């Protein structure tokens, strides 16, 4: 069986064909922690953006059926 990194890269290419995998060549636990923190921050930002877009979508769907 391959290393964790090899398994990650294999699963990444299966799940996201044609998309380059992120760099997972960490030199220390601190680098992993830093990357984890950045990843969590990005996910939170994307979730907030998605929620705003969903809210706008609902408004626009309703607006197209009524006179403004």
The 3 state secondary structure assigned to the chain is CCCHHHHHHHHHHHHCCCCCCCCCCCCCHHHHHHHHHHHHHHHHHHHHHHHHHHHHHHHHHHHCCCCC
Q: What is the pLDDT of residues 14-64, one digit of tens each?
A: 999 999 999 999 999 999 999 999 999 999 999 999 999 999 999 999 998
Question: Could you give the domains of the chain?
Answer: 4-63 (4.10.280.30)
pLDDT for 45: 98
pLDDT for 13: 96
């Amino acid at each position: 069986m391959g290393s964790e990194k090899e398994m990650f890269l294999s699963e990444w290419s299966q799940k996201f064909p044609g998309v380059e995998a992120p760099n997972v060549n960490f030199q220390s636990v601190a680098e992993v922690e830093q990357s984890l923190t950045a990843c969590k921050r990005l996910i939170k930002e994307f979730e907030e953006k998605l929620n705003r877009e969903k809210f706008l979508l609902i408004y626009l769907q309703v607006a197209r059926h009524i006179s403004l």
